[in-house]
Amino acid sequence: MTIRSFLLVIACTLVAASPVMAQMTGPPTIGYKQEPGMTSSTMPAALREIGFDQHLDRHVPLDTVFRDEAGHVVTLGKYFGARPVVMVFAYYDCPMLCTMVINGLASALDVLSLVPGKDFEIVTVSFDPRDTPATATAKKAAYIARYKQPGAAAAWHFLTGAPPSIDRLTRAAGFRYVWDQETAQFAHPTGVIVLTPDGRLARYLFGIEYGPRDLRYAIVEASNGRVGSAVDSLLLYCYHYDPTTGRYGVAIMRVIRGAAIATVLALGAFIVVMARSEKRRTGRGRR
């Protein structure tokens, strides 16, 4: 057995012995409290139409045209090709949920040792066609002041677009939202999406707070091992992504197999040591 395999066994065993903390703060439609006894037929119509449809491993249309915060016309593909992309849909005048989503993302990013612009890009796309480069600039300034990692300003992009571009991208990503006439606001799900460098939808993380561990693993997996450390690769053997919860959990069977291998190795080492000790004693007795 190689040293890498042995370290993997140890890592899995330690994971199994440690408590696993839930990282998801609510379902994809967080932001509306469903009262006891309420069914989908009695839920407000707007909330019945929103949510995330997970189109895992599908490509988003990289030729879709937007404007960046400086007002330049860009295609979505400008931000792909070299590294994974963390994408979040938010409109810039949102009074509550969008701000909470981006705040949660910024908090998780602050903890990561991964480097923005080197290991990943961040793309925020407004789904409100009334947003402009000016509102995108103001929103970006607020978050760059908060997320002060080197390279953050160049790696975090805030886009606006026309209805056809917005509709094309949100449909491809499975992001369903509606305009709620009664509140004069958009009703929308909350979460972030991690995509591969070639534009495939890799992971959805739900809620308004994102565990740094989950975000890191999603970026490492989306990079196909090109981002992160050897320890990340080892631990990803012990964790797996659950699309129903949008977070990573312990892969129980892998941990059990790891613990079994560790036990066999320990017993084998004990037998070898005892056999050598007995051989030395026998050799001395013959003299």
Global confidence as pTM = 0.70
Q: Where are the alpha helices (DSSP H) in 112-251?
A: 133-146, 152-155, 163-173, 212-222, 230-238
Cβ atoms 25, 247 nearer than 8 A? no
Domain range annotation of the chain = 3-36+44-250
- Given a cut of 70, whether residue 8 has pLDDT beyond it is no
The rounded radius of gyration (Å) of the Cα atoms in the chain is 24
**Given a cut of 70, is residue 115 above it in pLDDT?**
yes
pLDDT on residue 17: 36
- CB of 159 closer than 8 Å to CB of 66: yes
Flag whether pLDDT at 267 surpasses 50. Answer: yes
> Any idea what DSSP says for residue 2?
-
Contact 265, 6 (CB under 8 A): yes
Residues 54-72: tens digit of each pLDDT: 999 999 999 999 999 999 9
Average pLDDT in the chain: 78
Residue 26 has pLDDT above 50, yes or no: no
Q: Write down the residue that tokens 């007795």 correspond to.
A: 285
Residue 96: pLDDT band (50, 70, 90) is confident
Topology classification of domain 3-36+44-250? Glutaredoxin (3.40.30)
